[in-house]
Amino acid sequence: MSQNPATLTPAGLGQLRCLDCTIRLRAVCAYADLPSLGELERIKRYRSYASGQTIASTGEEPSVVGSLVEGVAHISTLLPDGRRQMVGLLLPSDFVGRPGRSRIDYDIVAATAVTLCTFRKADFERILAANPAIERRLLDMTLDELDAARDWMTLLGRKSARERVASLVLMIARRDAALVGADARTGQRVPLRLTRQAIADYLGLTIETVSRQFGALARDGLVVLGAQRTLELRDLPGLEAAAGDAA
Amino acid sequence: MSQNPATLTPAGLGQLRCLDCTIRLRAVCAYADLPSLGELERIKRYRSYASGQTIASTGEEPSVVGSLVEGVAHISTLLPDGRRQMVGLLLPSDFVGRPGRSRIDYDIVAATAVTLCTFRKADFERILAANPAIERRLLDMTLDELDAARDWMTLLGRKSARERVASLVLMIARRDAALVGADARTGQRVPLRLTRQAIADYLGLTIETVSRQFGALARDGLVVLGAQRTLELRDLPGLEAAAGDAA
DNA sequence: CGTCGTCTTGATCGTCTTCAATGTATGTGG
DNA sequence: CCACATACATTGAAGACGATCAAGACGACG
């Protein structure tokens, strides 16, 4: 995808069968039948990226596409004077790359160690054309991403700094809870997994403002800040009110 | 789509054949072959909306989807306290509605007189499943919308009021020029077609700030403001610099 | 000619940024 | 094991930018 070296067939995943894959039911291959899954299996190739490594960057014409299997990556755009805005968060099962378009106009950077399950773009497009079920899954995923992008636009265009930080905390808390089939709850411990700079770039704020708003939420008893970029929810209804989208 | 009354088969379009349709080559039906186009033709139904009329609103479960044939419509979200953010602009050939999902979480409002070419959602989904070419077109259109949404996130998260207004003027000027196969140019007359309130909701600003920024761009000789929400480009390179995405 | 909706202009205020310093965790080599 | 370096985070003070509040101007339309 980028010209940077990416480790191929990382330890532990080299032989992973698609049917055993942790993201099998949520990734772009979720609706694939056994024959097309077999075809994907034949041509897939795992690639690993270290935290901070660039997966793809603006202006490139990536020759591979794929699914994020492990880790977290950021999609961001950069204005010429250095201002950066994150425009997407890639989590396991998310699709990376864009079939039918060559050049990309944003940067994709690994935020943690990342493993991708990749395909050569041309191969994948051929399979896509022959398997409407896979194409349909990609359409559904893209529509979900569009909804998420629009929610984020409302946050960026209309919410105060406090509302933005509260919204982000809730989003991460809910996503983490959903992974174990639960709802967010008071007392929940939430690993943010993002640096202050990443949070600021995501929320359209500065790191100082983000830091102050975390302080304010803690002072108001809505959260307790912990070490290593974690926090604990102390007042879920209060946090929801602070996020600004409850009535 | 909404419960509001929409005029059916408006004058002039009642008998329009798909092959004569002005948006035939850009809409969701662009890749459709003749048999499936015939099927769409049989089940399509034109609906008209007056300027200001709601086409669909938050929480509804629209039973129809379709293509915008004529006019302009806004997609916006509303926070409980009344703050509004526009998250999309629908122009002729754009697709309205979302296959595979029932409830929608934003409002769609006609900004001018609007004509939609609609299909019952269930019918359209059946055709979609049987015609990968149509599904592929919808995927491409959705990917384009996602790119546009991400560009807009950068504007909302990181650009100053002046940059936002300059960016919007350029976007509209370029889109208008592209309709006649040209590039934007100094001297071009640009009809904005949006009220100050719509512009403010689109840019995440207030109407006063929008007004002041238009005044400032005019004072700096970048544009000349005209009547009826039009303006004229006076210094295209200057405007591009003011928009903030040039190097 | 008066009314309504839209737009502009002015004065003031609050929020967030900017600039600067300090604090805290983690790791490195002596 | 500790001084030191580095990256990340917090805190403070000042200022800028856009929001808010408040008039007034303009244009369309009865």
pLDDT, tens digit (0-9, with 9 covering 90-100), for B158-182: 999 999 999 999 999 998 898 888 9
By percentage, how much of chain A surpasses pLDDT 70? 94
The whole-number pLDDT of residue A78 equals 94
Per-residue pLDDT, averaged over A10-19, amounts to: 68
Per-residue pLDDT, averaged over A231-242, amounts to: 96
* Domain end residue (candidates: A147, A169, A191): A147
B167 and B91 in a single domain? The answer is no
Q: Which window residues (162-221, chain A) lie with Cβ within 7 Å of strand D? A: 195-197, 207-208, 210-212, 214-215
Q: Are B203 and B165 a contacting pair, CB within 8 Å? A: yes
State the pairing for strand pair A64-70/A54-56.
Answer: unpaired
Domain range spanning residue A207?
Answer: 159-243
Per-residue pLDDT, averaged over B197-208, amounts to: 97
Q: Which residues of chain A does B141 touch, with a Cβ-Cβ cutoff of 8 Å?
A: none
Residue of B nearest to A143 (CA): B142
* Domain end residue (candidates: B103, B138, B155): B155
The whole-number pLDDT of residue A63 equals 87
The whole-number pLDDT of residue A15 equals 62
B117 and B179 in a single domain? The answer is no
Per-residue pLDDT, averaged over A210-238, amounts to: 95
The whole-number pLDDT of residue A3 equals 42
Res. A218 pLDDT band, cuts 50 70 90:
very high
The identity of residue B140, as a single letter, is: D
Per-residue pLDDT, averaged over A56-67, amounts to: 92
The whole-number pLDDT of residue B90 equals 93
Across all strands, nucleotide nearest B207 (CA–C1'): C7
The whole-number pLDDT of residue A143 equals 95
Q: Is the pLDDT of residue A90 over 50?
A: yes
| Contact pairs from chain A to chain B, CB under 8 Å | 114
Q: Is the pLDDT of residue B10 over 60?
A: no
| Average pLDDT taken over every residue of chain B | 91
* A96-112 per-position pLDDT tens digit: 998 888 889 999 999 88
Res. A159 pLDDT band, cuts 50 70 90:
very high
In a domain, A153, yes or no: no
Asked if the Cβ of residue B206 lies within 7 A of any atom of strand D, the reply is yes
Q: Is the pLDDT of residue A217 over 50?
A: yes
B39 and B122 in a single domain? The answer is yes
B98-129: b (≥16 Cβ within 10 Å) or e: bbeeeebebbbbbbeebbbbbbebebbeebbe
In a domain, B112, yes or no: yes
Kindly list the residues of chain A whose beta carbon comes within 8 Å of any beta carbon in chain B: 75, 77, 79-81, 83-85, 87-88, 98, 100-101, 105-106, 129, 132, 135-136, 138-140, 142-143, 145-147, 149-154, 156-159, 203-204, 244-247
Q: Is the pLDDT of residue A65 over 50?
A: yes
CATH classification at residue B218: 1.10.10.10
A231 and A166 in a single domain? The answer is yes
CA distances from A210 to A196, A203, A213 (A): 7, 9, 5
Q: Is the pLDDT of residue B110 over 80?
A: yes
In a domain, B212, yes or no: yes
Q: Helix or strand or coil: residue A134?
A: helix
Scanning the structure block, which residue is given the tokens 């933005």? A164
Q: Helix or strand or coil: residue B75?
A: strand
Q: Number of C-alpha atoms within 13 angstroms, CB side, residue B84?
A: 19
Q: Is the pLDDT of residue B6 over 70?
A: no
Q: Is the pLDDT of residue B120 over 80?
A: yes
Res. B157 pLDDT band, cuts 50 70 90:
very high
Q: Is the pLDDT of residue B20 over 50?
A: yes
Pairwise CA distance, residues A57 & B188, whole Å = 34
Q: Are B101 and B60 a contacting pair, CB within 8 Å? A: no
A28 and A120 in a single domain? The answer is yes
A179 and A67 in a single domain? The answer is no
* B70-88 per-position pLDDT tens digit: 988 999 999 999 999 999 9
Q: Helix or strand or coil: residue A167?
A: helix
By percentage, how much of chain B surpasses pLDDT 90? 73
B146 and B205 in a single domain? The answer is no
